[in-house]
Amino acid sequence: MLGKVFLGRRRLLAATAAAALAAPAVARAQQVLRSSKASYSLRMLTLDLEQPWGMAFLPDGRLLITERPGRLRIFANGRLERAPVGGLPKVYARGQGGLLDICLHPDFARNSVLYLTYSGEGEGGAATVLARAEFRNNALVGVQRIFEALPRTSGGLHFGSRIVFDRAGLLYVTCGERYQMQRAQNLADLGGKAVRLRDDGSVPPDNPFVGREGARPEIFSYGHRNPQGMAMHPGTGRIWLVEHGPRGGDELNLLKAGANYGWPRATHGIDYSGSTISPNKSLPGMEDPVRVWVPSISPSGLAFYTGDRFPGWKGSIFTGALSDNALFRIELDGDRYVGEERLLVDLLPYIRDVRQGPDGLLYIVTHTDSGGLYRLEPA
């Protein structure tokens, strides 16, 4: 009997989620597009977002979308709600800074807790901040800063920043090196790192640098430049990320505890001036990327596809390519890169994030002043 009740509830939740995501009749579907393993169409859901950055689906199917200037919006029942979510913290919305990623607590259905990353200001400048809050009645309640990528510094570049939970309920956050490359190699500095935290912001005792003199215990890995996409592999549970190189040298990386990913001592890129940053593409004791892009594609957002609506895409990783005006589909064999293809080439500008919805479809946002929310559908 309990099994029947549970299955009925699950079907009801799935139906509710699908209804919440249903697009209005005015949404436009383009022509049939083809990839090597699927035919699909692109449907525009709204163009009323301002520089959207991150997305998270609520259990009822509503979609939360961050806007870099500092607003959190709700897309529900096929429309973008006019009023933004209340209770947002003040953000440092300059350059690349502002309201960035959003992630639900694994037990959100019970505790209503979610997490935001944003650039926050304080003495000395700004830094990537992780905040925890409850989402109640379309507002954030009890917002708390639980992590800050210190030290703060001036400028508006390279904040990171994505949020992912692993299967153990631990929280990973990526922190850019704030366009100060040597910070990435300094273990006393949280810039240019991926950090791992408990859900309250405290440090897990098995983090790789706990107890090491001169090292921040929050650090999980280092030598990163500006990681703007992160996702957990649905089969292995391991964490993957994509990060921006300079001119060339964008990377797909598999996170390993305590690993050094090289920046700026080892890189496939050059400086924007054309000068050499490092003569080394690889160094002993440093982790080589799984995939390198030269020239740069500026990868942003990362999602593993696990749905049934696109069977040929199952197990693929998707990332937006800001400077390539495309959506990349990447195939893996275990931890090994196999190949990739470019989708939506030159159809959309600046794909900032990609997420799989509860309906098994892919959702993307474009980072423009008239930012769009789009959905990929089978055709």
Active site residues per annotation: 158
Sign, CA dihedral 283-284-287-293, equals: positive
Place of tokens 């997420």: 355
Q: Is 76 left (phi over 0), alpha (psi -120 to 50) or beta?
A: beta
255: which residues sit within 8 A by CB, 6+ positions away? 172, 194, 220, 221, 238, 239, 240, 241
The values of phi and psi at residue 219, to 5°, are -70, 130
Q: Is 119 exposed, middle or buried (0-12, 13-18, 19+ CB in 10 A)?
A: buried
Cα gap 331→369, rounded to integer Å:
32
287: which residues sit within 8 A by CB, 6+ positions away? 221, 223, 253, 256, 259, 260, 261, 262
> What Rg do the C-alpha atoms of the chain give, in angstroms?
20
CA of residue 254 relative to chain centroid, distance: 15
CA of residue 268 relative to chain centroid, distance: 23
The amino acid at residue 207 is N
The two structure tokens encoding residue 39: 């035919």
What count of other Cβ atoms lies within 10 Å of the Cβ of residue 123? 6
Cα gap 71→86, rounded to integer Å:
9
372: which residues sit within 8 A by CB, 6+ positions away? 44, 45, 46, 47, 49, 348, 365, 366
